[in-house]
Amino acid sequence: MDQALSLWFLLGWIGGDSCNLIGSFLANQLPLQTYTAVYYVSADLVMLTLYFYYKFKNRSPGLSTPINSVLLLVAGAVCAVPLLSSAGPVAAPTGSFQGRTLLSVEPHIRPFTQQEVIGFVIGSISSVLYLLSRLPQIRTNFLRKSTQGISYSLFALVMLGNTLYGLSVLLKNPDMGESEGSYLLHHLPWLVGSLGVLLLDTVISVQFLVYRNRAVPTACTTAEREPLLSS
């Protein structure tokens, strides 16, 4: 059912991922954040293309299984890139990866460069778009009193990804001489975006539990099957 997934949810999602990619690059975020942002935008474009394809062609989504396989393959390749690029002789650990208690330099607040300020602003916009993108889908599920036609695997994987994404940022040690507060400040928009969306996706998960045994109301089903253009 093409109306089960909110178009505003998809548009907000791809808008947030696009700003996330630009902001991560300008604000000098972790390499893994940039790699995942590239994959997110690519996957969003595929999902948006499929949405309009099945909406206007009204065909059975028979390609969903191979497309999901391709996306998983791309995701594995994206995750493998940093591992392959780091392969080689093991170098002695540098000071930037030492534990916080071993830092010999007094930590301080690292100032923002002009480029990082622009990236920070774009990253903040990304966080807002991420948070706003879930609201139309929550509203659509509430009005339909059903989550039929929506794949819970999508939200389950997103929740898992956002959890690991946020933990990867939180668990990394600051650069030598940088305080923990300064490190968190420079990554704040991305942490808010990932962990904030995690909470909203939890709400959608609750809707899946509440509406799991409910079918789509007849009025909604009839409206979704009406042709887009009158004959």
Residue where the block lists tokens 């968190």: 184
74 vs 199, higher pLDDT: 199
What are the φ and ψ backbone dihedral angles of 178, each rounded to 5 degrees?
Answer: -100, 135
- 55-84 pLDDT per residue, tens: 777 654 454 445 544 454 554 554 444 444
Burial 122-147 (b: 16+ CB within 10 A, else e): bbbbbbbbbbbbbebbbebbeebebb
Residue where the block lists tokens 């010999």: 104
Predicted pLDDT at 44: 85
d(CA 219, CA 7): 20
Under 8 Å between Cβ of 229 and 167: no
Count of alpha carbons within 13 angstroms of residue 14, beta-carbon side: 15
Beta bridge partners of 108: 178
- 10-68 pLDDT per residue, tens: 888 888 888 988 988 888 888 878 888 888 888 888 888 888 887 777 654 454 445 54
Instruction: Tell me the two tokens of residue 203.
Output: 């709400």
Instruction: Tell me the two tokens of residue 72.
Output: 């998983």
> What is the value of pTM for the model shown?
0.63
Please classify residue 8 by burial: count the beta carbons closer than 10 Å to its beta carbon, then call 0-12 exposed, 13-18 middle and 19+ buried: middle
Predicted pLDDT at 89: 42
Predicted pLDDT at 59: 54
188 vs 76, higher pLDDT: 188
Nearest to 37 by CA among 20, 16, 25, 15: 20
